[in-house]
Amino acid sequence: MERSKPNQTGTNNSSNGFGIHWRTRFRIAKILLNNKKISITITGVKRLKKDVLSSLFENEKPEDIAEKVMENHDLLPKLTMGLSSTNPRVKFGFAKTLRIISEKNPKMLYSKIDFFFNLLDSENNILKWNAIDIIANLTTADSHNKFNKLFKKFYKHLHEGSLITAGHIVDSSGRIALSKPELKDTITEELLAVEEIPLPSEECRDILIGKTINAFSAYYNRIENKERVLTFVERQLKNSRTSTKAKAEKFLKKFQKQ
């Protein structure tokens, strides 16, 4: 049997112009095909996860989902997984659901408190704001005093320069002070600083001061240094924001004679 003759390039006829044998070309093609299948499979799994998360509670309100999860705790990991979804409806809908559960059944979420503390560093503000509210609710179940240890991590967000973020911290402070009476004086010091913290404008400051007055109202009877709080509120009688001034008047009418 006659052997195939080399062509002008010096390669065998059974190979291509680049000197690659046909068997080698076949192996390469097979590898490329397999890799393509793998890529398709991975993409399919990712899409499947997204579809499962988005259809798990399809067309259900967060309040209804919360009830369903509180009845079946096995569904809870699906909610926390949903916070990393690229679908905003899933991400923010599940965040709201978790917030509702934290209000109604804080013990159910308490084991996840570290997870929510990590969310405070999220670049997504909506997740951060929900995490603030959830952590505050979980302080009622904080049997291991985890909040006490991470107090500074929580309250540093009061000083980051965002009215909405600071507003969530202040709104949560009354609840925390009631749940954590040992921290009430430290919380009071943080709240008294709202006149000095960085904010986008003085109008933002006036809004935040109004929220602070409401926070003090929630636990005023437990505050030891009441004079400092009263002095703070009295200053707001000259506040340029009408609603904040009204809150100060209401507060003083209720507490000044105590």
pLDDT at 253: 96
Neighbouring-strand partners of residue 15:
21
pLDDT at 15: 46
Structural domain spans, the chain: 153-258
User: How far, in Å, CA of 77 to CA of 204, rounded?
Assistant: 37
User: How far, in Å, CA of 237 to CA of 182, rounded?
Assistant: 30
pLDDT at 134: 98
Q: What is the pLDDT of residues 84-142, one digit of tens each?
A: 988 898 899 999 999 999 999 999 999 999 999 999 999 999 999 999 999 999 999 99
Q: Phi and psi dihedrals of 21, rounded to 5?
A: -65, 150
Answer yes or no: are the C-beta atoms of 194 and 209 closer than 8 Å.
yes
Answer yes or no: are the C-beta atoms of 112 and 146 closer than 8 Å.
no
pLDDT, tens digit only, all 258 positions of the chain:
444 444 444 444 444 444 555 565 556 555 555 554 444 344 444 444 444 555 556 678 899 999 999 999 999 998 999 999 888 988 999 999 999 999 999 999 999 999 999 999 999 999 999 999 999 999 999 999 999 999 999 999 999 999 999 999 999 999 999 999 999 999 999 999 999 999 999 999 999 999 999 999 999 999 998 999 999 999 999 999 999 999 999 999 999 876
pLDDT at 182: 97
Best CA proximity match to 132, nearest among 86, 105, 98 = 98
pLDDT at 123: 95
